Amino acid sequence: MKVLILGAGAVGLSLAARLSGVCDVRAVCRKRHADAIAERGFRLTGLWGEGTFRFPASEDVPAGEHFDYIFITAKSLATRSLCEQFAGVIRGTETISLQNGLGNEEIISEYTDRVIGSTIITGFEWKGDASVHVSVVGGPMKLGRFPDGLDAPVEDLAALITAAGIPVEASAHVRGDIWAKTLYNSALNPLGALMNVPYGSLLHPSVWGVISGVVHEAFEVMAAEGVCLPWSNATEYLAHLHDVQVPDTAGHHASMLQDIRRGNPTEIDFMNGAIAERAKKRGIPAPYNDCITRLVHFRESLSET
Ligand SMILES: NC(=O)C1=CN([C@@H]2O[C@H](COP(=O)(O)OP(=O)(O)OC[C@H]3O[C@@H](n4cnc5c(N)ncnc54)[C@H](O)[C@@H]3O)[C@@H](O)[C@H]2O)C=CC1
Ligand SMILES: CC(C)(CO)C(=O)C(=O)O
């Protein structure tokens, strides 16, 4: 089995490391990571196990190579440019978005008719150019034909990932899984980033009212789009978020806060921004998601000056 990982950073290089034991894997990443991996191997620590892994990593794909599966693991803002750069390799190939946010699968589907959606609720932190620490695991990876359904290529990929020692579930409703992960990220990441606090601090009643507004609006959009989730309404999901998900990841600093601290653009347009945009198209008011999107863009602009 041949696997390509495009836009390999903290998530993609960790995935490449685990897969390197069970298949032929290549990572496309930035030169400084490729050079460091070639020199001393890739070091993985934490909840995905400890070890040093060797696999090919470069800025490009050797001409004429074909792959059984291609993962896209860059930030959502880079999905389209990666698809453009590697359009020839992606065309007709099973391509998986292993990213946060709404809209990545729709972009990829403009380049291949074989799109697999997935979610990952695991924390990856850079420790060096060729070193990542896995800090939290909030559940198994989910994998399914996008927008819905299960088939042999999805099942085979789930078996490969399981063999690599990564907990994964094949899902017949991956669109719902992607929305569920987006709900969690949209509720917590922008406020964690704007307030400079870990997830656990967001249980404070004054900020919880804002989170409640974000989630209620998202449920209205999901109802209009016919998305099914394990929770029948916003109140049920908010109870799960409050009592299970936030306590399980209370000490975590959102990836959006890490982006802001580094002066990088955030994925807000694929989270609350996407919810506000979809709401607008359907005539659903979404002032909480719209306001939060604007505030995060304002915060990003402060890092630019
Ligand atoms: N880091 C985390 O804990 C988690 C991240 N995610 C999601 O996974 C996705 C990836 O996140 P990270 O791995 O943290 O991002 P990252 O920024 O560490 O890695 C992405 C890498 O792709 C590179 N890249 C982009 N375009 C490229 C190109 N054309 N050629 C070569 N390299 C290119 C970037 O320079 C960067 O090094 C995001 O959607 C994120 O929200 C999901 C769960 C947890
Ligand atoms: C909590 C975590 C790491 C889970 O995947 C996440 O999604 C984020 O920080 O954006």
d(CA 295, CA 52): 41
Range 41-65 average pLDDT:
97
Q: Are residues 33 and 93 in the same domain?
A: yes
Q: How large a percentage of the chain has pLDDT more than 70?
A: 100
The more confidently predicted of residues 284 and 123 is 284
Q: What is the pLDDT of residues 65-112, one digit of tens each?
A: 999 999 999 999 999 999 999 999 999 999 999 999 999 999 999 999
Instruction: Please report which confidence band the pLDDT of residue 137 belongs to, taking 50, 70 and 90 as the band edges.
Output: confident
Q: What is the pLDDT of residues 221-279, one digit of tens each?
A: 999 999 989 999 999 999 999 999 999 889 889 999 999 999 999 999 999 999 999 99
d(CA 71, CA 53): 19
Q: Are residues 163 and 201 in the same domain?
A: no
**Which residue do the tokens 């990952």 mark?**
120
Average model confidence (pLDDT) across the chain:
97
Centre of ligand 2 to C-alpha 92, Å, is 30
Q: Are residues 158 and 197 in the same domain?
A: no
Centre of ligand 2 to C-alpha 304, Å, is 24
Asked if residue 218 has pLDDT above 80, the reply is: yes
Centre of ligand 1 to C-alpha 9, Å, is 5
What pLDDT is attached to residue 223? 97
Number of folded domains in the chain?
A: 2
List residues near ligand 1 (CB under 6 A): 7, 9-12, 28-30, 59, 73-76, 78, 81-82, 85, 99-100, 120, 122-124, 255, 267
Nearest Cα residue to 252 out of 126, 75, 124: 124
* Nearest ligand, CA 71: 1
Q: What is the CATH number of the domain that holds 142?
A: 3.40.50.720
Instruction: Please report which confidence band the pLDDT of residue 5 belongs to, taking 50, 70 and 90 as the band edges.
Output: very high
Q: Which atom of ligand 1 is nearest to the CA of 85?
A: 29
Q: Are residues 68 and 40 in the same domain?
A: yes
Q: Are residues 15 and 158 in the same domain?
A: yes
Last residue of a domain, one of 172, 197, 227: 172
Q: How would you classify the pairing of strands 115-119 and 141-145?
A: antiparallel
Q: Count how many Cα atoms sit within 13 Å of the Cα of residue 151 in the half-sphere of its side chain.
A: 11
Asked if residue 174 has pLDDT above 70, the reply is: yes
d(CA 182, CA 204): 21
Other Cβ atoms less than 10 A from the Cβ of 39: the count is 9
137 C-beta closer than 6 A to ligand 2: no
Q: Which one of 104, 142, 255, 272 would you pick to mutate in the ligand 2 pocket, going by the greatest count of ligand atoms within 8 A of its CB?
A: 255
Last residue of a domain, one of 145, 172, 199: 172
185 C-beta closer than 6 A to ligand 2: yes
d(CA 87, CA 110): 10
Range 184-205 average pLDDT:
97
Q: Which one of 72, 255, 258, 270 would you pick to mutate in the ligand 1 pocket, going by the greatest count of ligand atoms within 8 A of its CB?
A: 255
Residue 264: phi, psi to the nearest 5?
-95, 155
Centre of ligand 1 to C-alpha 87, Å, is 19
Residue 124, both tokens: 């990856």
Give the per-residue SS3 of 215-244: HHHHHHHHHHHCCCCCCCCHHHHHHHHHHH
d(CA 10, CA 7): 10
Residue 172, both tokens: 């017949």
Centre of ligand 2 to C-alpha 210, Å, is 20
Centre of ligand 1 to C-alpha 239, Å, is 30
3-state helix, strand, coil in the chain (%, to 5): 50, 20, 30
Determine contact, residues 245/181, Cβ cutoff 8 Å.
no
Instruction: Please report which confidence band the pLDDT of residue 136 belongs to, taking 50, 70 and 90 as the band edges.
Output: confident
Asked if residue 305 has pLDDT above 70, the reply is: no
Q: What is the pLDDT of residues 30-48, one digit of tens each?
A: 999 999 999 999 999 999 9
Asked if this assembly's ipTM is beyond 0.85, the reply is yes
Last residue of a domain, one of 128, 150, 172: 172
Q: Are residues 48 and 70 in the same domain?
A: yes
Q: Where are the alpha helices (DSSP H) in 21-109?
A: 31-40, 79-85, 87-90, 104-108
What pLDDT is attached to residue 51? 98
The more confidently predicted of residues 209 and 137 is 209
Q: What is the CATH number of the domain that holds 186?
A: 1.10.1040.10
**pTM of structure:** 0.96
Asked if residue 304 has pLDDT above 90, the reply is: no
The domain in which residue 46 lies consists of 2-172
* Nearest ligand, CA 186: 2
Centre of ligand 2 to C-alpha 302, Å, is 23
Asked if residue 3 has pLDDT above 70, the reply is: yes
